[in-house]
Structure 1
Amino acid sequence: MAIDLVSRREWGARSPRGSYSSLTSTRGVKIHYTGGRVDPRILDDHARCVNLVKSIQIHHMDGNGWIDIGYSMIACPHKKVFEGRGPKRLPAANGAGLNSAHYAVLGLVGSSGLVQPNDAMLHAILDAVDHLRDRGGAGREIKGHRDGYSTSCPGDPLYRWVRRGAPRPGGGDPEPPPEPHPSFPGRTLKYPPVMVGEDVRTWQRQMRRRGWDLDVDGLYGEASRAACRAFQEEKGLAVTGAVNRATWNATWEAPIT
C-alpha cells in the first residue's frame, strides 16, 4: 500500500539547527499523541493539520531546545503522513536513553478535543511504520510511548489500539504477532579475534535453523564470519562479516529464501 507522504518541503518545515544522529535499525516504533488539546476541526480541514505540525516543530525547537521536531513521522486524520526527522535519524520524543531503540510516530490526537483516532489516521500510522521498516530498518515492535516511560502518551484510545496489536481498520482479525526473538546483545559479534559467548551461540543456532551449515559452538571465528558475510549479501545488508543490530534482527525477521 503506497504511503501518502507529505515531505518536509511540502509542509514548510524549518531546517534543523544541527546534524542528526544516525540510526540504522531499531526494535520498532513507539506511538505518540500530542498531549494537549487538538481542535476537532482538523477532521474537515487538512490545512489545520499542517499548521498543527508546524506548531509542534516550533515548540520542540524553541521550547525544548531540540534541533528539530522530535518525531520521525506524523500521521493525520486524512491518511497523510508528514515527514518529521524521517528514517535513519535518531528521534527525540521517546525520552532520554530510549530514542535509539524505537522510532517515534505521532498521531494527531490529544488529551482533549479530538482524542479518538479515525480509521484514516490509523492507516496513516501503519503506513508510517511500514515506511520506517522499509527505509530505516525498524523492527517489528509497535509500542506506546508509555511502554517503558512514565507518561499518559499516547492516550487511552490510541493505546488500546496498540495493545490490540495495531490492526489495520477493515482488515479483519489482526495478524498474530511474530515469534519473539532475543534482543540484540549490545555488542557487535566480529572476528578477529575469536569472540566467545552465549550470544554467539544464540546467533549460530538461528543461522542453522535458516539452513546455514554452521557449528553451534559459541565461538565467532572464521566460519561464522564467512556465513555472516554470505547472509548479509543475500539480504542486501552492508557486507562486513560482523553481526551488528541490523544483521542480528534480520537473522530472525528476514524471509527465508
Structure 2
Amino acid sequence: MDNLIPRRAWGARSPRGSYTTLSSTKGVKVHYTGGRVDPKIIDDHDKCVAMVKSIQKHHMDGNGWMDIGYSMVVCPHRKVFEGRGLKRVPAANGAGLNSAHYAVLGLVGSSGLVKPNDDMLHGILDAVAYLRAEGGAGREIKGHRDGYPTACPGEALYTWVKSGAPRPGSKPPANSGTAPKFPGRLLKYPPIMRGEDVRTWQRQMKKLGYTIDADGAYGAASEKVCRQFQRDQKLGVDGVVGPATWKAAWNAKESASNR
C-alpha cells in the first residue's frame, strides 16, 4: 500500500509489552476521535502527524494502555498511519470485542472537523483492503457503535458505513427492495424503545419521505409515523413495527414528499 505510513515514519513510541496475536477477524470497525479535531489539519499534514502522536500519548499515558488503541489511523490526505498494525489485537472496540474486528480511526471528531472528505473515505477503504489482504480481516465494515454503547464514529462516518461504505465517486447500487434482517423484536410504544434497529427503521421512513427524527428512540412520534405508513401500505394499523411492517419499509416506493 503506497499511502501507508509505518510506525517509524510517524515517530511512534515503542509499545510497553508484547501484543496479543490476532490471526483473523470478522472485519473492521470504524472510529472517530470523540473530541474536537482542528479543521486546519486538512491544509497541513504535519498537524495530522502531531495528532496521531497525541492520540498515542493519551492512550498510553492517559488510559494506561500498552500502545495506541487503533490498528490504523487515516487522515484527510489519504494517508494511512500504522497503529498497532496487522495481526495484533486492538484496544479501541470495547472490552471483549477487540478480537472480533480491527479498529480503523478516521481523523474527524464530534466538533471542529466532523465530516470526512473523500480522501479520508478512500484512505479508510485502503486500510480495510490492506487489513483484508495482509491481516485476515473479514468482509464486515461496521461502526464502533454497532454492538457497543457509544456515539462513535459520529453521524457522518456512521451514515457512510450504513450506506455500504462506498468508494467516493462510485455509482450507488440500485435499491433492490431487500430489507435488512428483521431485528427479532417488535418495535412498539409505550414504553420508549431504544436501539440501532429503531434508528435503522427511522432512517428508512425518513428516506421514504416521512417526517421523523432518526434518534434511535421509538416513542409517540415514531408510533404515529408507523401508523401512517401502515395505512399508506394497507397493512394492519397497530403502530407496531413487526416483520411485515419492517419488510414493507424497504419494498415501498420512495417519495420525495413529507407526510
TM normalised by structure 1 equals 0.67
> Which residue does the alignment assign to 2:98?
99
> Which residue does the alignment assign to 1:124?
123
Computed over aligned residues only, the root mean square deviation of the Cα atoms, in angstroms, reads 1.7
Structure 2: any 5+ residue segments left out of the alignment?
A: 181-259
> Which residue does the alignment assign to 1:62?
61
The answer on whether the counterparts of 1:29 and 1:104 sit within 8 Å (CA) in structure 2 is yes
* Distance in 1, Cα, partners of 2:2 & 2:69: 21
> Which residue does the alignment assign to 2:41?
42
Matched, 1:170 2:169: yes
* Distance in 2, Cα, partners of 1:168 & 1:174: 12
C-alpha change, 1:30 and 1:3, in structure 2 (3 Å) is farther
Deviation at 1:31, TM superposition (A): 0.1
**Counterparts of residues 154-169 of structure 1 (less than 5 Å):** 154-169=153-168
Deviation at 1:113, TM superposition (A): 0.1
4+ residue segments displaced more than 2 Å: none
Deviation at 1:4, TM superposition (A): 0.3
The answer on whether the counterparts of 1:3 and 1:128 sit within 8 Å (CA) in structure 2 is no
The answer on whether the counterparts of 1:166 and 1:174 sit within 8 Å (CA) in structure 2 is no
Amino acid across the alignment from 2:62: G
* Distance in 2, Cα, partners of 1:93 & 1:175: 34
Deviation at 1:146, TM superposition (A): 0.2
Amino acid across the alignment from 1:34: T
Matched, 1:12 2:11: yes
> Which residue does the alignment assign to 1:111?
110
> Which residue does the alignment assign to 1:229?
none
**Counterparts of residues 208-219 of structure 1 (less than 5 Å):** none
* Distance in 2, Cα, partners of 1:29 & 1:152: 17
The answer on whether the counterparts of 1:3 and 1:131 sit within 8 Å (CA) in structure 2 is no
* Distance in 1, Cα, partners of 2:51 & 2:130: 22
The answer on whether the counterparts of 1:167 and 1:175 sit within 8 Å (CA) in structure 2 is no
SS of structure 2 residue aligned to 1:139: coil
Amino acid across the alignment from 1:161: W
Matched, 1:28 2:27: yes
* Distance in 1, Cα, partners of 2:41 & 2:174: 31
The answer on whether the counterparts of 1:38 and 1:110 sit within 8 Å (CA) in structure 2 is yes
Amino acid across the alignment from 1:148: G
> Which residue does the alignment assign to 2:52?
53
* Distance in 2, Cα, partners of 1:140 & 1:174: 18
* Distance in 2, Cα, partners of 1:152 & 1:52: 21
Amino acid across the alignment from 1:100: S
Deviation at 1:171, TM superposition (A): 1.5
* Distance in 1, Cα, partners of 2:80 & 2:164: 20
C-alpha change, 1:43 and 1:175, in structure 2 (3 Å) is farther
* Distance in 1, Cα, partners of 2:39 & 2:16: 32
* Distance in 1, Cα, partners of 2:109 & 2:154: 7
> Which residue does the alignment assign to 2:147?
148
Amino acid across the alignment from 2:164: G
Amino acid across the alignment from 1:110: G
**Counterparts of residues 165-244 of structure 1 (less than 5 Å):** 165-174=164-173
* Distance in 2, Cα, partners of 1:69 & 1:81: 14
* Distance in 1, Cα, partners of 2:148 & 2:68: 19
> Which residue does the alignment assign to 2:136?
137
Deviation at 1:121, TM superposition (A): 0.1
> Which residue does the alignment assign to 1:237?
none
